[in-house]
Amino acid sequence: MERGMMKRQYRDVVVWDAERTAAERCDVITEGDRITSILPAGTLDSGCAYEGRGKMALIPGFVNAHGHAAMTLLRGLGEELPLMEWLQERIWPVENGLDGDLVKAGTKLAILEMLSTGTTCFADMYFFMDRVAEAALECGMRCGLSRGIVGDSDGSKLKENLKLADDFNGRDGLINVQLGPHAPYTVPMELMKEIANTAKDTGLGVQLHWLETSSEWSISGLEGKMTPEDYLAETGMIDVPNLLLAHCVWIRPQESAFYARDNVTFAHNPKSNLKLGSGIAPLPAYLKAGVRVALGTDGAASNNRLDIWDELRFAALTQKGVNKDPTLVASAEALRMATVNGAIGLGFRDVGLIKEGYRADMILIDLDQPHYVGWDCENLSGFLVYAGSSSDVKGTVVAGKMLYQDGDFVFADRKRITEEAAEARRKLTAR
Ligand code: NI
């Protein structure tokens, strides 16, 4: 242990993660940003540790595997319009007025919301990403960042994305940078090939919107020429070091096996897909084929919450209902999607489990409440997903630091951040 490295102890907490079949009462020690010991409950002396009393769950923090954080400033704009009208008339004109300061203000607002609902790591694809990185570092939040690349005839956006990687990849152990080609209908195929090659040369991952709407493939101009899977093979995207495909609503279920690869993760966004009328992803087919699926909220303008707890419940319940099969998408599977699967998708191979050597990204959930009566170590995942909610989060720990505790943001000024965001919103929508 390095001198001065912060050590924290959690006594008699109820530990669950996706590698356990049942929860277990344990003591947990973190040193610096890592989990260093997991001991039988009650081993540690009382008084010098956070006391769980066997009534506080400690699970991995949620990973929000797809989003556009600063869209918190656009929440509520153009509600319930058709997708293209919403984008073209309400969202894009406002986004044209964004600058670095506004994006940073909106991102900090998003980070407050995510921390208070149990998210410890978020994916972001947007603009002014150096300011997003600053916001994350100032708050101590983990993230996977990509510069959204649209068009890019002069190559300046790809350059900007690479500069983001030079400046921020690996910073404070918190940031992984990905390349961010927006979608096959906004990025020419030659550029998509170039980005795939760049990813292979640099070892960077890629975030890509993929088959979000039923019309996406015809809009891309590729319909009738090649299948989406041929496109991923032809551009080389399927072979990049780490490919995070957002949405995946319209993949043909019979093609699921193509995506069951160690370097590929889907970011499933059930609430955004419902709200924008994009459809319902054939999630059971993906899971059956062995595809790694994570959960995301998408931007606050199309959700409208950045609360993974909602995604857990929508992912698990929607499939049961539409397929008339209550055995689909079990609660433990949904929690796996929301934790370790998202971490892997963003290139963090030591995040998302409560395990010695893993990063100490975790949340504390108060089980001493009326709606948890009857929980036990075997049924905990079901209680969390079907009865729990983000209001049960009592602590959010990122890289060993408790950033949110009992309603307060320990290292962030809630009042200032919300006031700055409100002012940013006024500026942005007044233009
Ligand atoms: Ni998106």
Average of per-residue pLDDT across 83-88: 87
Contact of 287 with 316, CB cutoff 8 Å: no
**Could you give the CA distance from residue 393 to residue 115 in angstroms, rounded to a whole number?**
9
SS3 346: coil
Cis omega (within 30 of 0) for bond into 176 = no
pLDDT at 98 over 90: yes
pLDDT of residue 277: 95
Ligand 1 centre distance from Cα of residue 175 (Å): 19
**Could you give the CA distance from residue 424 to residue 24 in angstroms, rounded to a whole number?**
45
Ligand 1 centre distance from Cα of residue 67 (Å): 6
Was domain 7-61+353-407 assigned CATH 2.30.40.10? Answer: yes
SS3 151: coil
Ligand 1 centre distance from Cα of residue 125 (Å): 7
pLDDT digits (tens, 9 = 90+) for 179-216: 999 999 999 999 999 999 999 999 999 999 999 999 99
E strand residue ranges, 49-109: 50-51, 56-60, 62-64
Residue extents of the structural domains in the chain: 7-61+353-407, 62-345
Distances (CA, A) of 286 to 18, 206, 248, 263: 18, 20, 10, 15
- CATH among 3.30.56.10, 3.90.1260.10, 3.40.50.720, 3.20.20.140 for 62-345: 3.20.20.140
Distances (CA, A) of 251 to 229, 242, 247, 323: 9, 19, 10, 17
* E strand or H helix at 331: helix 331-336
Average of per-residue pLDDT across 381-409: 98
Tokens of 126: 């947007």
pLDDT of residue 152: 81
* E strand or H helix at 233: helix 228-235
Rounding to the nearest 10 degrees, give the CA dihedral for residues 218, 223, 226, 227: 60
Q: Considering the entire predicted model, what is its pTM?
A: 0.97
Contact of 131 with 103, CB cutoff 8 Å: yes
Residue whose entry in the numeric block shows the structure tokens 């490919």? 243
pLDDT of residue 1: 44
Ligand 1 centre distance from Cα of residue 299 (Å): 6
Average of per-residue pLDDT across 244-272: 98
Ligand 1 centre distance from Cα of residue 120 (Å): 19
Ligand 1 centre distance from Cα of residue 66 (Å): 6
Q: How confident is the model at residue 293 (pLDDT cuts 50, 70, 90)?
A: very high
Residue whose entry in the numeric block shows the structure tokens 């995946």? 248
**Could you give the CA distance from residue 400 to residue 224 in angstroms, rounded to a whole number?**
51
Ligand 1 centre distance from Cα of residue 76 (Å): 16
Ligand 1 centre distance from Cα of residue 208 (Å): 9
Ligand 1 centre distance from Cα of residue 2 (Å): 41
